[in-house]
Amino acid sequence: MAKKILIFFGAPGSGKGTQSDLLANKTKLTKITTGDLLRSEVAAGSVLGKKAKGYMQKGVLVPDSLIKDMILKRLESASKSGYIFDGYPRNLKQLEDLEEIFAKIVKKNDLVYGIEVAVSDSEVKRRLGGRRACVCGAVYHLKYNPPKKTGKCDVCGKKLFIRKDDKPKVISNRLKVYHNESEPVLDYFRKGGNLIKINGEQSIAKIHRDIMGKLKKLAIVK
């Protein structure tokens, strides 16, 4: 059976993480999220985590060679039916690395598509700028999901804070990185005719329906 490889693109805060989760649940493809893999390395205090932490806090990309090794390791235990990438490849060098990896594992009939969850910069700033977090793991949004008491967590009552990578300066950096480094990768898929573009400024359910509709048309999902 043809392997399916779906690669999600979208600015930080575009909702591509939520959408790729929904798709992974439906399709049983292995989801590979570099941001999550890196965050767990940081939390575990591993050698990789220690190297990655500073870059992540500034909102710039972690060096490509570290990411490539991490992807290769993750692919060892991935499903044979295919994968969903979320957050990789993020620049042209990573695309080159991925092509090198694909040369070994992708067959002629396999289906490789990019999925772009498109949102404007102003929407990203609204979404991420209003986000508040708690040490217990709960996440709020000042406008869309506010806590019952201003500045306090509903779950544990602790004071809410702004994650380092949600500070305005870091959000701008992450957007700059997306436009300068990740969009050329999108162009590559667009020119190859295998990019699916979805309007990300809709409800979560509607975005999911749009993605499923396009994938069904391409016979990627049933």
Residue from 29, 32, 48, 62 touching ligand AMP (CB under 6 A): that is: 62
What DSSP designation does 80 have?
T
What's the rounded Cα separation, in Å, for the pair 82 and 105? 10
Pick the closer one to ligand AMP by CB: 55 or 194: 55
Of the candidates 119, 118, 91, the one whose C-alpha atom is nearest the C-alpha of residue 178 is: 91
Residue from 114, 174, 200, 208 touching ligand AMP (CB under 6 A): that is: 174
**55 touches ligand AMP (CB under 6 A):** yes
Joined tokens for residue 127: 């979404």
Pick the closer one to ligand AMP by CB: 171 or 198: 171
**131 touches ligand AMP (CB under 6 A):** no
Pick the closer one to ligand AMP by CB: 49 or 79: 49
**90 touches ligand AMP (CB under 6 A):** yes
**61 touches ligand AMP (CB under 6 A):** yes
User: DSSP per residue over 28-48, as a string?
Assistant: -PEEEEHHHHHHHHHHHT-HH
Pick the closer one to ligand AMP by CB: 83 or 88: 88
Pick the closer one to ligand AMP by CB: 125 or 152: 125
Which residues have CB under 8 Å from 66's CB, separation 6+?
Answer: 48, 51, 52
Shortest spacing between CB 203 and ligand AMP, in angstroms: 22
Q: According to the 3-state scheme, what is the secondary structure of 191-216? A: HHCCEEEEECCCCHHHHHHHHHHHHH
Shortest spacing between CB 220 and ligand AMP, in angstroms: 23
**20 touches ligand AMP (CB under 6 A):** no
The one segment of 40-48, 88-96, 185-193, 205-213 that binds ligand AMP by CB under 6 A: 88-96
Pick the closer one to ligand AMP by CB: 74 or 190: 74
User: DSSP per residue over 170-197, as a string?
Assistant: HHHHHHHHIIIIIHHHHHHHHHHT-EEE
Which residues have CB under 8 Å from 136's CB, separation 6+?
Answer: 153, 155, 156, 158
Stated as kind and residue range, the H or E segment containing 98 is helix 92-105
Instruction: List residues near ligand AMP by CB under 6 A.
Output: 12, 34-35, 38, 55-56, 59-62, 67, 87-88, 90, 94, 174
